[in-house]
Amino acid sequence: MSVAEAPLLMVSEVSRAFGGLKALEGVSFAVPRGVIKAVIGPNGAGKTTLFHLISGFLKPDRGRILFQGQEIQGRPAHAVAALGIARTFQLVQLFDHMTVLENVMVGRHRLSRAGLLAGALHLPWTRREEAAIREQAYGALELVGLSSRAAQPAGFLPLGLKRLLEIARALASEPTLLLLDEPASGLDQAETERLGELILTLKARGLTLLLVEHDMSLTMEVADEIAVLNYGRLIAEGPPRAIQRHPEVIAAYLGSDWQE
């Protein structure tokens, strides 16, 4: 990475409180292009809150968030998504009553344009657009290895596959930055390993990833940089090796109900 290149995402002095509870306090960090950055921290450290702030589901009380040089803090979630930030959710959020393929097709929403009437009338150009959407959605399913399930309703998938489907759906929107909130939680050993491979494949394709993860071996394996949150504050940042030895990080984990 060249130091001169502007980072893809800049979080600067961001704070957010819920009532009296300071979920985030003056947090700043950067995500350079093409990097996998992990955010770790004990339960309740503010990781999900950070994701909500970046993706527009919450507004920060203070601070700025810059994506490709533009301020995005406080913009509505759909507007942030339109800029090329996609995400998954800690509690999987699928469209349960739609098929696996349709779920991913929704991911193409921002890149297609059929309106109400044109879509309803199935004009020649919207039919072509639909065919393209279908094909690209299939591609995303193949990437995560779910194409054999395409016609099933998403609600019936086992949790491991649900997480993969959520990633496929986010990928279908061709994001520049992908936020993954605990993608490995609920996965077994084998599934976690496959997830690690997928994450590395995505990086190889040029995607930038920001990852919240409790599974330390996965995090250490895939992350280029790690940021550590504790009680809403950033207490350390750096490459995995340095983080593992960081005294404050060790203290934070020993002082909590951390299990790994």
Partner 1 sequence: MRGARLALWGGFALVLALLPLGWRNDYYLSLLNFIGIHTILVVGLNLLMGYAGQISLGHAAFFGVGAYTSGILTATYGVNPWLALVAGLALAAGLAFLIGVPALKLRGYYLAMATLGFGVIVYIFFVQAQRFTGGPSGLSGIPALSLPGFTFHTPLRLYGLIWTATLGILALSAGLVDSRLGRALRALHDSEVAAESLGIHTQRLKLLIFVWSALYASLAGSLYAHTLNFVAPSSFDIMFSIKLVTMVVVGGMASIWGSLLGAGVLTVLPELLVVFHDFEVVLFGAILMVVMIFLPRGLVRGLLDLWEYRHFRRESGGVSG
Ligand X SMILES: Nc1ncnc2c1ncn2[C@@H]1O[C@H](COP(=O)(O)OP(=O)(O)OP(=O)(O)O)[C@@H](O)[C@H]1O
Q: How far is the CB of 46 from Mg ion (least distance, A)?
A: 8
**Cβ closer to partner 1: 59 or 241?**
59
Single-letter amino acid, residue 235: I
45 Rama class: left (phi>0) / alpha (psi -120 to 50) / beta: alpha
**Cβ closer to ligand X: 10 or 17?**
17
**Cβ closer to partner 1: 107 or 232?**
107
Query: Which residues bind to partner 1, rule: CB under 8 A?
Result: 55-57, 76-78, 81-82, 86-87, 89, 92-98, 102-103, 105-107, 109-110, 112-116, 119-122, 126, 129-130, 133, 152-153, 155-159, 161-162, 169-170, 173
Stretch that binds Mg ion, among 3-11, 39-47, 72-80, 193-201 (CB under 5 A): 39-47
**Cβ closer to ligand X: 17 or 106?**
17
The SS3 of residue 254 is helix
Q: Which residues of 111-131 are buried (b: 16+ CB within 10 A; e: fewer)?
A: eeebeeeeeeeeeeebeebbe
**Cβ closer to Mg ion: 24 or 143?**
24
DSSP string, 163-196: HHHHHHHHHHT--SEEEEESTTTT--HHHHHHHH
Q: How far is the CB of 108 from partner 1 (least distance, A)?
A: 8
89 binds, among ligand X, Mg ion, partner 1, none (CB under 5 to 8 A by kind): partner 1
Is residue 185 at the binding interface for Mg ion, with CB under 5 A as the rule?
Answer: no
Is residue 48 at the binding interface for Mg ion, with CB under 5 A as the rule?
Answer: yes
Report how many helices (DSSP H) and strands (DSSP E) the chain contains, helices first.
Answer: 10, 10
Are 199 and 207 in contact by the 8 Å Cβ rule? The answer is no
Single-letter amino acid, residue 99: T
